Amino acid sequence: MTTVKVVLRAADLSEVGLFSGLPGNALEAIVSCSQVRRYARGQMALEQGTRSGEVHVVVSGAFKACTLTEGGSAVTLALIGRREVFGEMAFLDGGEHSVNVTALATSYTQCIGTTALDAIVEAHPSVRNYLARLLTARLRRLSTVSERMVIEDVSARLARQLLDLSERFGTADSGGTRIMLDLPQQELAELVGATRERVNRVLMSWTKKGLIARQGRQIVVLSRPELSRCTGLTA
């Protein structure tokens, strides 16, 4: 981790759900008591089982949240992108971080110490309410993902994941939408709860059919309608 000098304006923070609706003086106070940090790809921002005393808002880039099973295997629970938050659970319950959060690319976060955030919350309770809603939404999402692991096959789960990633991290490219993340097949496999070999077979099939294109570790979604049909959704 490296601390860098990057200028953040109050206007930038107003676009983050966590701080939207706060008055200008509150946003200025947040800027003054926080730091912008840079993480290289593969660098850990939060470590499972520790207390960092920090909450992060992603300024740019992306992170993955993983947990380790009793057998030592990594399970990717979520990808976290621009304007999203991590570290909020430990802030809300005062406990240890429940996941490892690692940068998927060169990424920047706005890091706020929990002592400073406590003062912000005391003055503006809406911040805590937002964090509570965020945590509830994540728990519901994990519940939905767990259900899909049981009832959906790998193709449906992978198609759903690629559609979501193309919306959150995509940019128009080559007649489709390029997912601007370097995602090795192992990481994709962890996201959908499958083996790397199974994910590779599905991706190869979709590449031959023209649904996607693979360029290195990046994927271009060429046909959203066809990929949507793989999930049972309508485009």
- Final residue in a domain of this structure, among 89, 116, 149: 149
Confidence bin at 154 (pLDDT 50/70/90): confident
Q: What's residue 220's pLDDT? A: 94
Q: How far apart are CA 174 and CA 145, in angstroms?
A: 31
CATH number at residue 78: 2.60.120.10
Closest CA to 86 of 123, 37, 41, 120: 37
The band of 6, judged by pLDDT with boundaries at 50, 70 and 90, is low
Mean pLDDT of 154-161: 90
Is the same domain home to 124 and 142? yes
Q: What are the pLDDT digits (tens) for 201-229?
A: 999 999 999 999 988 888 999 999 999 99
**Nearby residues of 37 by Cβ (< 8 Å), 6 or more positions away:** 1, 2, 3, 4, 45, 56, 108, 109, 111
Same domain, yes or no: 52 and 68: yes
pLDDT of residue 40: 94
pLDDT at 152 over 90: no
- Residue 235: pLDDT over 50: no
Q: Given this model, what pLDDT does residue 147 score?
A: 54
Q: What is the rounded distance in angstroms from the CA atom of residue 201 to the CA atom of residue 210? A: 14
Residue 39 pLDDT grade (very low, low, confident, very high; cuts 50, 70, 90): very high
Q: Which domain holds residue 16?
A: 2-149
Q: Which of 149, 173, 203 is the last residue of a domain?
A: 149
Name the average pLDDT for the chain.
82
Q: Do 95 and 195 sit in the same domain of this protein?
A: no
97 in the same domain as 14: yes
Question: In terms of domains, do 170 and 56 share one?
Answer: no
Q: Same domain for 169 and 141?
A: no
- Whole-number percent of the chain with pLDDT over 90: 27
Mean pLDDT of 53-76: 82
The count of domains in the chain is 2
Q: Among 149, 174, 200, which residue terminates a domain?
A: 149
Instruction: Answer yes or no: do 139 and 169 share one domain.
Output: no
d(CA 11, CA 27): 8
Q: What CATH number did the domain enclosing 164 receive?
A: 1.10.10.10
